[in-house]
Structure 1
Amino acid sequence: MQSFAIGRLRDVTLGADIVAYLEHIDATLAPFGGEFIVHGGPVTVLEGAWEGDLVVIGFPSRAAAEGWYASPAYREIVGLRTRNAACDVILIDGVEDGHRATDVLARERAARSPAG
C-alpha cells in the first residue's frame, strides 16, 4: 500500500539553509522510491483556515517512507528545514484500490468490538 509523508510548513525563512535542503532532498528520496506529489503552490480555501505550504511525498510503502525519514542522508539535511520553518510532518498510508467512504465504518466497528 502506498504511503505518504505530508508536511505543512509555515514561517519559512528562505535563506541558504532552505536552498541547500531543496538542492539535496531529491537525492534522499530516490533510494526509497519517493516522489513529490504536491510541493507548495497556491491553495483555494473552501472551509476553515489554511496557513502555510503543503508538501506531499509519495512512497511505495510505509516501510519505504519510514526508511527515508530515518535514513542517514535525510537525517543529515532535516535540520536545515527544521531550523528555518515551523513544520508539522506525518506519515499516513493511502487506501486500497476500490476504497469507498463507508469502508471506514467497518474499521471503526472492528476497533470497538471486544475481539478488535
Structure 2
Amino acid sequence: MPKGYIIGNVELHDAEGYRPYSARNDELVPLYGGRFLARGGPSEILEGESRSRHVIIEFPSYADALAFYNDPDYQENLKIRQACSDGTILVVEGIE
C-alpha cells in the first residue's frame, strides 16, 4: 500500500505563537503512524514561488494522513496555525 504524505508550505507571522501548535503535533502525528521527514529546516527555491517554511509528514497510507488531518484534536490545534501563519497544506499519495 502506498504511503501518504501531508505537505505544508507555510509563512509564519508569529513564531512564538506557533510553538504550541508544533508541540501538540509532536503528540498527535504518531497516533496515526506519522513521522516528520522535513520540518522547517533550510530550503532553497529552485523554481517558482514559495513560502519560507516547509513540512513533510509521512503516514502509513493516504487514509491515515487524511484521518490525522480530520481528527477533531488536530482540527482544534490547526486554529493556532491559522492564527499565526498563512499556508498551503496538501495530502499526496506516494508510490509503491
User: Considering the TM-score relative to the shorter chain, is it more than 0.5?
Assistant: yes
Map of 1:79 onto structure 2:
79
More strand by share: 2
1:89 matched to 2:86? The reply is no
Which 5+ residue runs of structure 1 have no aligned equivalent? 97-116
Shift of 1:43: 1.5
TM-score normalised by length of structure 2 = 0.89
Would you say the 8 A contact 2:9–2:54 is kept in 1?
Answer: yes
TM-score normalised by length of structure 1 = 0.75
Shift of 1:49: 3.6
Shift of 1:50: 3.5
| C-alpha distance in 2 between matches for 1:30 and 1:50 | 27
| C-alpha distance in 2 between matches for 1:72 and 1:47 | 36
What's the C-alpha RMSD, in Å, of the aligned pairs?
1.3
1:48 matched to 2:39? The reply is no
Map of 2:4 onto structure 1:
3
Would you say the 8 A contact 2:7–2:54 is kept in 1?
Answer: yes
Which 5+ residue runs of structure 2 have no aligned equivalent? none
Q: Specify the structure having the higher radius of gyration (Cα).
A: 1
Map of 1:39 onto structure 2:
39
Letter in 2 for 1:73: D
Letter in 1 for 2:3: Q
- Paired-residue identity, %: 28
| C-alpha distance in 2 between matches for 1:11 and 1:76 | 18
Tell which has more relative contact order, 1 or 2 (C-alpha 8 A, sep 6+).
2
What is the aligned length? 95
Moved >6 Å (runs of 4+): none
Would you say the 8 A contact 2:9–2:50 is kept in 1?
Answer: no
